[in-house]
Structure 1
Amino acid sequence: MGHPLRGRPNPRAPEGVHYWVLTICCLPLLPWGPLLAVVTAAYYRRRRREG
């Protein structure tokens, strides 16, 4: 049994079409953090002006 970072590649890793489907499905998650920060700041500014 090899070390997870060395030795044989993971036999359960997605390949071919499965890899691309997984990549396309997960791609929208990349901007999640920055967009959440932007809308949180906008919400804070809007709520601060009202009160």
Structure 2
Amino acid sequence: MNQIADSSAFPLPGSDAGFDPIEDRLRASVRATIEAVFDEELATFLGRLR
């Protein structure tokens, strides 16, 4: 029942051995969402200044 996980089994972030296409797609999606929200907020703010 008590098992110690070998940390060498988990690749470090950014290493080629640890490339995960799902994580890459998720990061891209989150980045696109944040950029879209930022652009919308910026446009609304600049519209108020006019």
| TM-score grouping bracket, smaller chain normalisation | 0.3 to 0.5
Per the normalisation by structure 2, the TM-score is 0.48
- Greater helix content: 2
Which structure is richer in relative contact order (CA contacts within 8 A, separation 6 or more)?
Answer: 2
Q: What's the TM-score, normalizing by structure 1?
A: 0.47
